[in-house]
Amino acid sequence: DSGVTQTPKHLITATGQRVTLRCSPRSGDLSVYWYQQSLDQGLQFLIHYYNGEERAKGNILERFSAQQFPDLHSELNLSSLELGDSALYFCASSETPSETQYFGPGTRLLVL
Amino acid sequence: AQSVTQPDIHITVSEGASLELRCNYSYGATPYLFWYVQSPGQGLQLLLKYFSGDTLVQGIKGFEAEFKRSQSSFNLRKPSVHWSDAAEYFCAVALYQTGANNLFFGTGTRLTVIP
């Protein structure tokens, strides 16, 4: 158990819908990262937050957004969902941006 | 182009045999290097990491990896594989020195262990 929690574990929804994925980092970690794992793209970095502020963006679609709250938990919002958004979404956290990242168990999203 | 390459998509070994999973990177500077393991339906677990110092690093579950700067490689090894090692293994790099803190992952190597 890495200490990073993600909810829900599974999510099934329809095209065009909007979902919110939640992540709670390890105690004391200020950095939160979101990654997407899909069969065709592999593991890709989406976005990084540090102590409530966005630090970096990777291959994140405009339909996707995220935020980190004062209690340091983070949410990833996916809207206007398409079939191709079906993937496993991981959250990772680290104490500071240059420290080892520890991953949560992921949220498996299926868009029908 | 910057990349992390895991040339073996799938490897099958017998239980008790030795294992080596290959990882090569292509970056201008020496990156920080990681190996993660993903069991079926599970998240990513850190096996080991290399930041600096001794180029042979020990990790959990009996794994080790050796950083070879001249070959831009960071291969993962285990002397005797157990059936529970069957999983997908990902090599990853971080380029903290460039200000980018995210991980870049290889495509993964799936390990099958046969009795």
SS (H, E, C) chain A: CCCCEEECCEEEECCCCCEEEEEECCCCCCEEEEEEEECCCEEEEEEEEECCEEEEECCCCCCEEEEECCCCCEEEEECCCCHHHCEEEEEEEECCCCCCCEECCCEEEEEC
Q: Which residue has 């939160």 as its token pair?
A: A32
Residue with tokens 């899909």: A38
Say which amino acid occupies A10: H
**pLDDT at B28 (0 to 100):** 72
What is the least distance, in Å, from the CA of A86 to any CA of chain B?
15
Kindly indicate the confidence band of residue B1, based on its pLDDT and cuts at 50, 70 and 90.
low
- Strand, coil or helix: B47: strand
User: Which pLDDT does position A22 carry in this prediction?
Assistant: 98
Q: Does A90 have pLDDT greater than 90?
A: yes
Structure tokens, A64: 């996707």
Cβ atoms of A78 and A63 closer than 8 Å: yes
The position carrying tokens 């976005």 is: A47
User: Considering CB atoms only, which of B42, B90, B103 is closest to A101?
Assistant: B103
Average pLDDT over residues B7-35: 93
Tell me which residue in A43, A44, A56 faces B101 most closely, judged by beta carbons: A56
Distance separating alpha carbons of residues A35 and A66, to the nearest angstrom: 12
Higher pLDDT, B88 or A59: B88
Judged by DSSP in three states, B6 sits in coil
Instruction: Kindly state the average pLDDT of the residues A34-44.
Output: 93
Q: What percent of chain A has pLDDT over 90?
A: 89
pLDDT, position A1: 82
Integer Cα distance of A92 and A37 in angstroms: 13
Residues in chain A: 112
Structure-token pair, residue B104: 């870049």
* A80 in contact with chain B, both atoms CB, cutoff 8 A: no
Helix (H) or strand (E) holding B103: strand B100-105
Q: At residue A5, does pLDDT exceed 90?
A: yes
Please state the rounded mean pLDDT for residues B48-75. Answer: 94
* Mutation target vs A (from B46, B51, B60, B101; most A CBs, 10 A cutoff): B101
Q: Which two tokens stand for residue B34?
A: 């990681």
- pLDDT, greater one: B96 or A106: A106
User: CA-to-CA distance for A97 and A107, rounded, in angstroms?
Assistant: 23
Other beta carbons less than 10 A from residue A15's beta carbon: 12
Is A105–B42 a contact, with Cβ atoms under 8 angstroms apart? yes
